[in-house]
Amino acid sequence: MRKNLLIIRLSQLRLCNLKPLRLRSALVISGLLLLWLAAGCSLEKMALKKAAGMLTSSSSGNVFTSDDDPELIAGALPFAIKFYESLLASLPEHQGLRLRTGSLYIMYANAFIQTPADMTPLSEIESRQAMLARAKKLYLRGRDILLAGLEKKNPRLREELKARQFQKALAPFGRQDIDFLYWAAAGWVAAYSIDPFDMSIGLTLPEAAALMNRVLELEPNYSQGAVHNFYILYYGSLPESMGGDDNKALEHFKKAEALCARTDTSYLLSLATAVSVKHQNREEFINLLKKVLAFDLNQAPDNRLVNVLNKRKAAWLLEHVDDFFLPPEDNKDHPGNDEGKYER
């Protein structure tokens, strides 16, 4: 036998020139090499799936939602989102990663881009507009990531939604799909709220509403009233011609209040900004915001971050209350002013 090392290149191996014993040896070595490579890929995939499972567990999300330092979370979330997205690129079938990536884009856009933009002085209008445009873009990015996940169960989802075949489009989805449906709808409507003159989105709002209606059908008390908070904003903000309905907004406010009065203050802000301002009900607006500020953060530790952010926004709104209401002498004959109608 030759003493020098034999480098086997599988693509160049001439099996016909090998003696039977050497042929068997070569096949064994080749087989072991292939097994080693396959095992390496398999182990890497297993490790990624294990990490993805840990990172998308419910307890991992509490690391963000239970924090009382919004600036810390605002700095950490972009890295976390891109990390999740990079894992998703390696594991495109992992629905947990897809849900976490898409929903975090939407949460980040709302809490740390749109909300600060809304509180940016009008003297900094260019900065404000740039922030809002960025928030809109991230809302739609998150929505599309989530819709891609839903399309794994119904590949014709978007086509059927566009054709207004809502029942057919959403029939395949059950309780296990609720988070995808909720966050996709939330991101969709949030993108429109930033730019209500973008009719390319406005004309698709019934599709977003259909997703949320499916959530309501499957689990009316989803996430301790989150679905009702959505409808406060949806029915309260839209004009009647596009489906707005203040009475429906108030109905959902009452349902949200019954479910999350001790855990989440978002429903108070929603009614104040979507309905109280429209009806020029200054007293109700102030009372709702004071309830947000009076909320005890310790009674809902898992939801501390959103309540801290809500307190900040409520305080800002109270400081700028005159920006949202006409002077009393100009307001008394306001056609939408119905004192006490929405009083809580």
Q: Give 288-336 pLDDT, tens digit per residue.
A: 999 999 999 999 999 999 999 999 999 999 999 999 999 876 565 555 5
Distance (Å, rounded) from C-alpha 45 to C-alpha 37? 12
The residue ranges of every structural domain in the chain are 221-344
Q: Phi and psi of 99, rounded to 5°?
A: -65, -45
Q: Give 63-104 pLDDT, tens digit per residue.
A: 888 999 999 999 999 999 999 999 999 899 999 999 999 999
Burial of 190 by CB count in 10 Å (0-12 exposed, 13-18 middle, 19+ buried)? buried
Name which residue leads in pLDDT, 42 or 246.
246
Instruction: Report the share of the chain in percent with pLDDT over 90.
Output: 74
Mean pLDDT score of the chain: 85
- Stretch (H or E) spanning 59: helix 58-65
Distance (Å, rounded) from C-alpha 46 to C-alpha 90? 12
Across 53-62, b (16+ Cβ under 10 Å) vs e yields eebbeeeebe
* pTM exceeding 0.85: no
Range 262-283 average pLDDT? 97
Cβ atoms of 198 and 239 closer than 8 Å: no
Tell the residue number behind the tokens 């294990």, with chain if given. Answer: 50
Distance (Å, rounded) from C-alpha 46 to C-alpha 313? 44
Q: Which fold has domain 221-344?
A: 1.25.40
| Nearest alpha carbon to residue 309 among 9, 22, 67 | 67
Q: List, in order, residues 6 or more apart from 50 with CB less than 8 Å away.
A: none
Q: List, in order, residues 6 or more apart from 232 with CB less than 8 Å away.
A: 249, 252, 253, 256, 267, 270, 271, 274, 275
Confidence tier at 36 by pLDDT (50, 70, 90): very low
- Stretch (H or E) spanning 35: helix 20-55
Q: Spell out the alpha helix ranges (H) of 66-198.
A: 70-90, 95-109, 115-118, 125-150, 157-162, 166-170, 178-194
The token pair that represents 137 in the structure block: 């873009």
